[in-house]
Amino acid sequence: MTNKPLIIAIDGYSSCGKSTFAKAIAHWLHYIHIDSGAMYRAVTLFALQNGLYKNGKLDAGKLISLLPEITIVFKKNPRTGNTETWLNGKNVEKEIRSIEVSNHVSEVSKIPQVREHLVNLQRRLAGRKGVVMEGRDIGTVVFPHADIKIFMTASPQVRAMRRYKEMLEKKEHSTYEEVLKNVIERDRIDSEREVSPLRQAKDALVLNNSKMTVEEQMNWIKGIIRKKLAEQNDKENAD
Ligand code: DC
């Protein structure tokens, strides 16, 4: 009996550990993992690199007209096994995680035409394969019929501390207070924006991982996935 591949949507606040969790699930199931936030970050990097900011203000009209010229692909790095983001033929995985991109990405991701363009791309990338996609609107907009929807959350302090430690490891300079401010501000913008705000899908399962290890989170989701696959089998047998 072969199961129909699942679509697993992971949404939630920034720095909740969505990527670590989504990657681990995709690895376990041999599914593809798509980080939709990386796509919004790549478009933001494109805007920064192409002089679309004048006196700190984004020329949204110009960015919209240039959307057809932006090519975003994900490639597996054969050395590390990690999936990396390429923008117009260049590996930008590191650049899209910079504080400069982080500070501009909310503005870019609230432009309706940018969202429409990227949502289409996200649906195409998933194709008919099994996919674990993470973001803010995956369970609500991109795949409203996803088989499993998870909404991740953790306290702003826990998230800021995780992000701060990551930055220290990468030798990026910032203070904990600055990171906490950025986390709170992005939560506000993500949940208050007019187009596709961050909100929990009605049928999403909430995962508050403030006090959970990755292993505990994996044990939790494995139970849910096994149940879903068993339901699918039962349904097929009954048909
Ligand atoms: O997950 P992240 O922090 O890398 O996402 C970067 C930004 O992109 C974040 O501020 C919100 C936005 N985003 C979005 O609007 N919709 C998504 N599906 C994913 C990310």
List the residue whose alpha carbon is closest to atom 20 of ligand 1.
Answer: 37
List the residue whose alpha carbon is closest to atom 3 of ligand 1.
Answer: 14
Q: Is the pLDDT of residue 128 over 90?
A: no
List the residue whose alpha carbon is closest to atom 13 of ligand 1.
Answer: 37
Ligand 1 site, residue 14, Cβ cutoff 6 A: yes
CA of 128 to the centre of ligand 1 (A): 24
Q: Two tokens at 127?
A: 């194709």
Atom of ligand 1 nearest to the CA of 15: 3
Average pLDDT over residues 146-165: 95
Ligand 1 site, residue 217, Cβ cutoff 6 A: no
Predicted confidence at residue 115, as pLDDT, reads 96
List the residue whose alpha carbon is closest to atom 9 of ligand 1.
Answer: 106
Predicted confidence at residue 98, as pLDDT, reads 87
Predicted confidence at residue 200, as pLDDT, reads 93
Q: Is the pLDDT of residue 1 over 70?
A: no
Predicted confidence at residue 172, as pLDDT, reads 79
| Sign of the torsion formed by the C-alpha atoms of 19, 87, 175 and 169 | positive
| CB neighbourhood size of 5 (10 A) | 17
Which stretches does DSSP call E strand in the chain?
7-12, 32-35, 53-54, 57-58, 72-76, 83-87, 90-91, 131-135, 148-153, 205-208
Predicted confidence at residue 236, as pLDDT, reads 80
Ligand 1 site, residue 40, Cβ cutoff 6 A: yes
Q: Is the pLDDT of residue 106 over 70?
A: yes
Closest CA to 10 of 136, 127, 101, 112: 136
Pocket test for ligand 1, best of 35, 36, 102 (most atoms within 8 A of CB): 36
List the residue whose alpha carbon is closest to atom 18 of ligand 1.
Answer: 135
Average pLDDT over residues 35-44: 97
Closest CA to 39 of 122, 110, 100: 122
Lowest mean pLDDT among 31-35, 105-109, 169-173: 169-173
Which tops the pLDDT comparison, 137 or 128? 137
Predicted confidence at residue 2, as pLDDT, reads 65
Ligand 1 site, residue 93, Cβ cutoff 6 A: no
Q: Two tokens at 62?
A: 């110009």
Q: Beta strand pairing status for 32-35 and 131-135?
A: parallel
CA of 231 to the centre of ligand 1 (A): 32
Average pLDDT over residues 85-91: 98
Closest CA to 64 of 46, 91, 84, 86: 46
Band of residue 41 on the pLDDT scale cut at 50, 70, 90: very high
Q: Is the pLDDT of residue 63 over 90?
A: yes
Atom of ligand 1 nearest to the CA of 38: 4
List the residue whose alpha carbon is closest to atom 10 of ligand 1.
Answer: 106
CA distance 97 to 40: 11
Domains and CATH numbers, the chain: 7-228 (3.40.50.300)
List the residue whose alpha carbon is closest to atom 14 of ligand 1.
Answer: 136
Q: Two tokens at 45?
A: 């990097």
Atom of ligand 1 nearest to the CA of 138: 18
Residue 51, amino acid: G
- Residue pair 38/85 in contact (Cβ under 8 Å)? The answer is yes
The CA–CA distances, whole Å, from 61 to 87, 159, 194 equal 20, 34, 18
User: For residue range 181-215, what is the model confidence (pLDDT) as tens digits?
Assistant: 988 988 898 889 888 888 899 999 999 999 999 99
